[in-house]
């Protein structure tokens, strides 16, 4: 039996049992309740068989079975245990099998807690499994080569990083989990019962958002510490394919909060649940169809499954429409409370903002496809395009985050609010216009003073708990503007960005403290918002105010950067050696620290790979990124091979060989280079030498130079004896100088407050986890 037979047989059996489970759940949903047991047992068999297929592929990797095409393409005998494990999901075939396995496990969420939605939800969910099984039958991870190579092609060196062992599985947990709320939502539409749907899907939407967030954050951190370009997010289309469903799931979470409180937005939430899942499928098409091969460094090539991916996408879009449109009236309608002083309105505004941002990113990500429909030369959006709309979005979102912690769901309408609000807005507009038109050149400190005056006026007009609550945030806003003046930040947008983000951080930090210690289970939203505020401050500050300095370091020399003396001492191996390390050191306050960034040529990727060194500090990172090592061809002086006649200006040198005169002591030896020198038709002999002695202090070399030229104007010394080539390297000051063999081009970037990015993203994950815990407890209550 061939090595691929067990794996292909397991895929076929998984297909058969999943199909049988789908039929069983379908018939049970249509009234034949006695078939539920058959459907469950079939699904159990499907799960076990899928797990066996996963285990068998791991077995093929760990036994180095290079007759299997997938094993050959993504591993070799040099890989460690963990990187052999991560090779499983390094290519398309393995990731589809991983996704199927996670789907198999998550199906039990529906089986155990789906209640009256269970049977129809499992019909939808098993149909998702069928698509993956069809893909695996077409694109089998167990396909064989026509021969058995001695070793594998190896794993992409960029993926040989601890973070890439866990990053892809986490992303695929998010992808697979998105199918659970979708299946339950479709079941609710089929059954026509919406009384329990929100309670059933809420925690799984939260865990989808959590896993997608974790995957995006880990991917960004991996890029920062591994790729050497100094960033962590490049708006690459493949990066966006997981970013878009994350933000869409955040929009959905906000909509579900409103529905749970008042019953509003049920139709919207149904569609958003479908939208998140469809975005996952669409992202799979974008990254794995090859349509972005010219626009993304992460894109997979087309492996002949595009028709499956398109069919996958179209089927679930049509299924959503077919089930949703005829049942619009049954979904009911509860009006939203459009009151600015109600938290429901703020949450709705955040939901709309998150959704619109997702759609805009989706549009720019899809631009290569859309432009290709109307042009022979498709194009992609550049980095500036994304940043230009992301910055205003962050400002508006920060304003919402500032107010939301201090509002409640009970409508609060102050007396004569229209007149007071109108007066406040007019004062703000007049003062704001005056500030920036008349006083900007005099310094933004004026803006700070007037902002304090405006704060006091607003508090007087309203005299409300809301205004008193957000007063600390407004004071922080003012202080940030004053600080901006002192730091000479001359971008209005940047100033407003930092000020509003600082307000959001202050408001949510105060709110988080108010929940501690006894009410931590209900502070998930505020903790997430606090993390978001810190993150966006870190993102802009570490990029807009980063300072770059480039050093050109000949081997053995040092350069100065940011108060450090940085030295380049050569390479551990050579540029073609895998993971070749550069030998660098820097001196700071008398302490010398050795660092080893990597620079090497990868045959697999046919390009130069760079891995930076990061000096971490509380307030900033120093990012050492090697760009290239340049060979210096004149470093060896004058190299003469035995019998070779070499011209240097008006002199002709002929190296006749080495002589080693005898010495009385065996611890001393002299090596003489016998050289004929021709100048203006006259031939003379010069004999530079080196004396080598070995004593208690070790080996010592003494230079014995020779002289030539008019009035012995030139001195010739032996620089290096190249014994294996029968050659000698000479130094002749004024004629043939010696220098270093190479030099390093090193970029060092100072990234201020970048730790806020990692602190903020960690708080986002922790806050989302708390949301999941709370909604899961409510589900089981």
Q: How confident is the model at residue 439 (pLDDT cuts 50, 70, 90)?
A: very low
Query: What pLDDT, on a 0 to 100 scale, did the predictor assign at position 533?
Result: 93
Going by their DSSP bridges, the two strands 651-659 and 727-731 should be labelled as: unpaired
Report how far residue 365's alpha carbon sits from residue 386's, in angstroms, rounded to the nearest whole number. 10
707 - beta bridge partners?
715
Query: What pLDDT, on a 0 to 100 scale, did the predictor assign at position 471?
Result: 56
Among the listed residues 361, 114, 376, the one whose alpha carbon sits nearest the alpha carbon of residue 235: 361
The answer for 446, left when phi > 0, alpha when psi is -120 to 50, beta otherwise, is: alpha
* Count of beta carbons in the 10 Å neighbourhood of residue 268: 22
pLDDT digits (tens, 9 = 90+) for 330-376: 888 888 877 666 788 889 999 999 999 999 999 998 888 887 777 77
Query: What pLDDT, on a 0 to 100 scale, did the predictor assign at position 26?
Result: 96
Q: Is the pLDDT of residue 166 over 50?
A: yes
Contact 237, 358 (CB under 8 A): no
How many residues can be counted in the chain? 781
pLDDT digits (tens, 9 = 90+) for 242-254: 999 999 999 999 9
Report how far residue 305's alpha carbon sits from residue 91's, in angstroms, rounded to the nearest whole number. 14
Average pLDDT (215-227) is 92
Q: How confident is the model at residue 697 (pLDDT cuts 50, 70, 90)?
A: low
Q: How confident is the model at residue 421 (pLDDT cuts 50, 70, 90)?
A: very low
Among 288-302, 358-372, 537-551, 576-590, which is the least confidently predicted range?
288-302
Among the listed residues 131, 200, 196, 187, the one whose alpha carbon sits nearest the alpha carbon of residue 320: 187
Q: What is the CA radius of gyration of the chain?
A: 34
Average pLDDT (306-314) is 90
Q: List, as own/partner pairs, every contact residues 509-516 make where C-beta atoms lie below 8 angstroms and the sequence separation is at least 24, other chains included.
A: 510/405, 510/472, 511/405, 511/406
Query: What pLDDT, on a 0 to 100 scale, did the predictor assign at position 371?
Result: 78
Contact 251, 272 (CB under 8 A): yes
Report how far residue 644's alpha carbon sits from residue 634's, in angstroms, rounded to the nearest whole number. 19
Tokens representing residue 391 in the block: 């910055």
Q: How confident is the model at residue 634 (pLDDT cuts 50, 70, 90)?
A: low
Report how far residue 47's alpha carbon sits from residue 59's, in angstroms, rounded to the nearest whole number. 18
User: DSSP string covering 724-736, please?
Assistant: GGTEEEEEBTTTB
116-148: b (≥16 Cβ within 10 Å) or e:
ebbbbbbbbbbbbbebbbebbeebbbbebeeee
Q: Is the pLDDT of residue 394 over 60?
A: yes
User: Rounded to 5 degrees, what angle do the CA atoms 381, 385, 388 make?
Assistant: 165
- Using DSSP, state whether 422 is helix, strand or coil: helix
User: DSSP string covering 376-404, please?
Assistant: SS-----HHHHHHHHHHHHHHHHHHHHHG
- How far does CA 548 lie from the centroid of its chain? 21
Q: Which helix (H) or strand (E) holds 609?
A: strand 607-611
User: DSSP string covering 266-301, please?
Assistant: HHHHHHHHHHHHHHHHHHHHHHHSSTTTTT-SSPPP
Q: How confident is the model at residue 417 (pLDDT cuts 50, 70, 90)?
A: very low
Q: Is the pLDDT of residue 143 over 90?
A: yes
User: Alpha helix locations (H) across 435-464?
Assistant: 445-462
DSSP 577: S
Query: What pLDDT, on a 0 to 100 scale, did the predictor assign at position 467?
Result: 53
Q: Is the pLDDT of residue 663 over 60?
A: no
Average per-residue pLDDT for the chain: 85
Q: Is the pLDDT of residue 47 over 70?
A: yes
Among the listed residues 239, 228, 766, the one whose alpha carbon sits nearest the alpha carbon of residue 524: 766
Residues 6 or more apart from 723 whose CB is under 8 A from it?
none
Query: What pLDDT, on a 0 to 100 scale, did the predictor assign at position 33?
Result: 86
Going by their DSSP bridges, the two strands 706-708 and 714-722 should be labelled as: antiparallel
Among the listed residues 689, 710, 711, the one whose alpha carbon sits nearest the alpha carbon of residue 701: 689
Query: What pLDDT, on a 0 to 100 scale, did the predictor assign at position 648?
Result: 84
CA–CA distance from 604 to each of 94, 250, 601 (Å)? 19, 39, 9
Average pLDDT (202-228) is 93
Report how far residue 44's alpha carbon sits from residue 105's, in angstroms, rounded to the nearest whole number. 10
User: Rounded to 5 degrees, what angle do the CA atoms 271, 276, 278 make?
Assistant: 90
Average pLDDT (48-70) is 96
Residue that the structure tokens 């001393």 belong to: 668
Report how far residue 53's alpha carbon sits from residue 12's, in angstroms, rounded to the nearest whole number. 10
Q: How confident is the model at residue 24 (pLDDT cuts 50, 70, 90)?
A: very high
Strands (E), 153-233: none
In this predicted model, which residue has the larger pLDDT, 444 or 495? 495
pLDDT digits (tens, 9 = 90+) for 87-122: 999 999 999 999 999 999 999 999 999 889 999 999
Q: Is the pLDDT of residue 213 over 60?
A: yes
Q: Which helix (H) or strand (E) holds 103?
A: helix 92-113
Going by their DSSP bridges, the two strands 638-641 and 607-611 should be labelled as: unpaired
Residues 6 or more apart from 101 whose CB is under 8 A from it?
50, 51, 53, 54
Among 187-201, 632-646, 679-693, which is the least confidently predicted range?
632-646
- Whole-number percent of the chain with pLDDT over 90: 48
Query: What pLDDT, on a 0 to 100 scale, did the predictor assign at position 460?
Result: 47
Report how far residue 579's alpha carbon sits from residue 272's, in angstroms, rounded to the nearest whole number. 45
Q: How confident is the model at residue 481 (pLDDT cuts 50, 70, 90)?
A: low
Report how far residue 357's alpha carbon sits from residue 248's, in angstroms, rounded to the nearest whole number. 9
Q: How confident is the model at residue 662 (pLDDT cuts 50, 70, 90)?
A: low
Residue that the structure tokens 């989706």 belong to: 362
Contact 266, 332 (CB under 8 A): yes
Q: Is the pLDDT of residue 445 over 50?
A: no
Q: How confident is the model at residue 748 (pLDDT cuts 50, 70, 90)?
A: very high
Residues 6 or more apart from 266 whose CB is under 8 A from it?
194, 198, 259, 331, 332, 334
């Amino acid at each position: 039996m061939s090595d691929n037979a067990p794996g292909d047989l397991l895929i076929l059996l998984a297909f058969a049992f999943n199909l049988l489970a789908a039929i069983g759940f379908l018939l049970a949903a249509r009234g034949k309740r006695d078939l539920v047991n058959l459907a469950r047992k079939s699904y159990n068999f499907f799960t076990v068989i899928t797990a066996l297929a996963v285990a068998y592929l791991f077995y093929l990797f760990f036994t180095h079975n290079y007759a299997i095409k997938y094993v050959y393409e993504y591993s070799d005998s040099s890989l460690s245990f963990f990187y052999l494990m991560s090779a499983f999901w390094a290519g398309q075939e393995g990731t589809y099998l991983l996704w199927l396995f996670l789907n198999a496990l998550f199906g039990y969420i529906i089986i155990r807690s789906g209640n009256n939605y269970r049977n129809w939800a499992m019909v939808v969910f098993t149909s998702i499994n069928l698509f993956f099984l069809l893909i695996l039958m077409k694109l089998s991870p167990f396909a064989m080569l026509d021969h058995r190579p001695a070793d594998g092609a190896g794993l992409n060196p960029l993926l040989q990083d601890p973070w890439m062992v866990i990053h892809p599985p986490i992303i695929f947990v998010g992808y697979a989990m998105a199918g659970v709320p979708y299946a339950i939502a479709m079941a609710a539409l089929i059954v026509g019962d919406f009384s329990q749907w929100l309670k059933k899907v809420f925690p799984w939407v939260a865990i989808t958002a959590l896993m997608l967030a974790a995957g995006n954050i880990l991917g960004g951190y991996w890029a920062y510490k591994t790729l050497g370009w100094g960033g962590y997010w490049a708006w690459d289309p493949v990066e966006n394919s997981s970013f878009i469903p994350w933000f869409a799931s955040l929009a959905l979470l906000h909509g579900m909060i409103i529905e749970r409180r008042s019953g509003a937005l049920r139709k919207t939430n149904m569609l958003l649940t479908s939208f998140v899942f469809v975005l996952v499928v669409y992202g799979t098409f974008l990254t794995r169809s090859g349509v972005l091969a010219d626009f993304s460094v992460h894109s997979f090539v087309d492996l002949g499954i595009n028709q499956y991916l398109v069919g996958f996408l179209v089927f679930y879009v049509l299924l959503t429409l077919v089930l949703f449109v005829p049942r619009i009236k049954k979904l009911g309608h509860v009006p939203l409370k459009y009151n600015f002083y109600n938290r429901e309105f703020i949450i709705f505004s955040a939901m709309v903002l998150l959704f619109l941002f997702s759609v805009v990113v989706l549009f720019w990500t899809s631009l290569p496809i859309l432009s290709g429909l109307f042009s022979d030369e498709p194009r992609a959006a550049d980095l500036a395009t994304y940043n230009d709309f992301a910055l205003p979005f962050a400002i508006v979102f920060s304003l919402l985050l500032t107010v939301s912690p201090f509002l409640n769901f009970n409508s609060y309408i102050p007396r004569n609010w229209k007149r007071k609000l109108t007066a406040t807005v007019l004062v703000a507009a007049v003062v704001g216009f005056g500030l920036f038109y008349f006083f900007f050149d005099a310094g933004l400190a004026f803006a700070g003073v007037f902002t304090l005056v405006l704060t006091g006026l607003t508090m007087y007009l309203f005299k409300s708990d809301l205004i008193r609550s957000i007063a600390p945030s407004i004071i922080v806003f003012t202080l940030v503007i004053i600080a901006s003046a002192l730091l000479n930040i001359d971008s209005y947008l940047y100033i407003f960005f930092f000020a509003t983000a600082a307000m959001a951080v202050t408001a949510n930090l105060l709110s988080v403290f108010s929940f501690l210690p006894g009410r931590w289970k209900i502070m998930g939203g505020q903790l997430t918002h606090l993390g978001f505020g810190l993150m966006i401050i870190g993102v802009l500050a570490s990029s807009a105010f980063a300072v770059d300095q480039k050093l050109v370091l000949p081997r053995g020399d040092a350069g100065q950067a940011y108060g450090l003396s940085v030295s380049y001492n050569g390479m551990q191996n050579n540029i073609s050696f895998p993971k070749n390390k550069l030998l660098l050191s820097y001196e700071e306050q008398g302490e010398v620290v050795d660092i080893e960034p990597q620079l090497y040529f990868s045959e697999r990727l046919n390009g130069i790979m760079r891995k930076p060194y990061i000096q971490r500090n509380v307030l900033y990172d120093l990012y050492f990124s090697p760009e290239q090592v340049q060979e210096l061809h004149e470093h060896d002086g004058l190299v003469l091979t035995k019998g070779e006649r070499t011209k240097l200006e008006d002199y002709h040198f002929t190296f006749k060989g080495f002589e080693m005169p005898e010495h009385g002591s065996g611890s001393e030896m002299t090596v003489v280079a016998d050289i004929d020198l021709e100048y203006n038709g006259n031939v003379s002999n010069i004999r530079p030498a080196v004396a080598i002695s070995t004593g208690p202090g070790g080996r010592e070399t003494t230079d014995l130079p020779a002289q030539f030229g008019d009035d012995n104007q030139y001195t010739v010394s032996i620089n290096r004896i190249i014994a294996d080539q029968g050659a000698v390297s000479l130094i002749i000051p004024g004629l043939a100088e010696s220098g270093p063999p190479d030099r390093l081009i090193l970029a060092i970037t100072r990234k201020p407050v970048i730790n806020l990015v990692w602190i903020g993203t960690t708080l986002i994950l922790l806050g989302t986890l708390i949301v999941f815990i709370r909604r899961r407890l409510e589900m089981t209550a």
